[in-house]
Structure 1
Amino acid sequence: MISSKDMVRDHGAVLFIYPQACTSGCTLQANGFKANIRALADRGYAVYGLSADEPAAQAGWKAEHSLPFPLLSDTDKQVLGALGALKPDRGITRCHFVIAKGGKVEDAQIGIGSKDSVPVAVAFVTGK
């Protein structure tokens, strides 16, 4: 189990939220963060993914795509709700958050598209 404090104790974090593992848009988003993990790490940010998928589904998806970051599971959707990532029907809205070391949210993109999430997050972190 990873706590939010642990996520940002020693470095910043980019937390991306996706509706469902193993779908095309979510895979596009995850692979984009995978391709940019070095640029984010070089600026002091770790990457984490979060959805309501069961841990077994997360693990299979992570292995299939060799995703080099933790995938977190919030099956009861309490964290997702607290972050504003739930639709009225309890579906999940794609988002990402850039969080500074120590826990201050620097940027929040709620309802961002799978094609836009990675370049927007990377541009925010790198200033490019």
Structure 2
Amino acid sequence: MELKEGSKAPDFTGVDQNGNTISLHDFKGKKVVLYFYPKDDTPGCTAQACNLRDNHTALQQQGYAVIGISVDSVKSHKKFEEKYSLPFPLVADEDKKIVEAYGVWGEKKFMGKTHMGTHRTTFLVNEEGNISRIITKPDTKNQAQQVLEEN
């Protein structure tokens, strides 16, 4: 099933870097920036996380909660959060259930080699739990601005 703008966002439950259980349905009535990224503490992922961190207050003022998801472990997420003082949950999806539900897990090419990985994608979920926008090519250095332009 391919998700489209207007589709119901698949609900999920996972554990964040602090051991808290996070479910999408907990955010009903709020707008959510649900961003999927390949790997903790890599250049593009760090730029994206830090841009969302630096603009977190502006995003909150527009009614957005931010949730990051990757297939890294809770321990990896905790180190990433502490290193960069990230103010939002990072959900560990080690069993790849969430990335598969959102259709962002797949074949990738890097330096001529093919491997399986997470395609960097951001879903904006509205107060009713529907996908209002899918950003398939997030600008890692300007991710927050891409979101804020939606308002």
Task: Check whether TM > 0.5.
Answer: yes
* Partners of 2:38 and 2:70 within 8 A in 1: yes
Q: Cα offset for 1:101?
A: 1.4
Matched with 2:74 is 55
Unaligned segments of structure 1, at least 5 residues: none
**Aligned AA (1:74):** D
Higher helix proportion: 1
Unaligned segments of structure 2, at least 5 residues: 1-20, 108-114
**Aligned AA (1:115):** K
Higher strand proportion: 2
> Distance between the aligned counterparts of 1:22 and 1:81, measured in 2?
22
Segments of 4+ moved more than 4 angstroms: none
**Aligned AA (2:22):** I
Matched with 1:85 is 104
Q: Does 1:103 align with 2:122?
A: no
Q: Does 1:2 align with 2:28?
A: no
Q: Cα offset for 1:117?
A: 3.3
**Aligned AA (1:2):** I
* Partners of 2:51 and 2:140 within 8 A in 1: no
Matched with 1:118 is 144
Identity over the aligned pairs, expressed in percent? 31
**Aligned AA (1:67):** L
User: Could you state the TM-score of these two structures normalised by the residue count of structure 1?
Assistant: 0.89
The structure with more radius of gyration: 2
- Paired residues in the alignment total 124
* Partners of 1:94 and 1:113 within 8 A in 2: no
Q: 1:116 to 1:93 in 2, by over 3 A?
A: farther
* Partners of 2:123 and 2:133 within 8 A in 1: yes
Q: Cα offset for 1:9?
A: 2.0
Q: Cα offset for 1:25?
A: 0.4
* Partners of 2:39 and 2:71 within 8 A in 1: yes
> Distance between the aligned counterparts of 1:98 and 1:92, measured in 2?
17
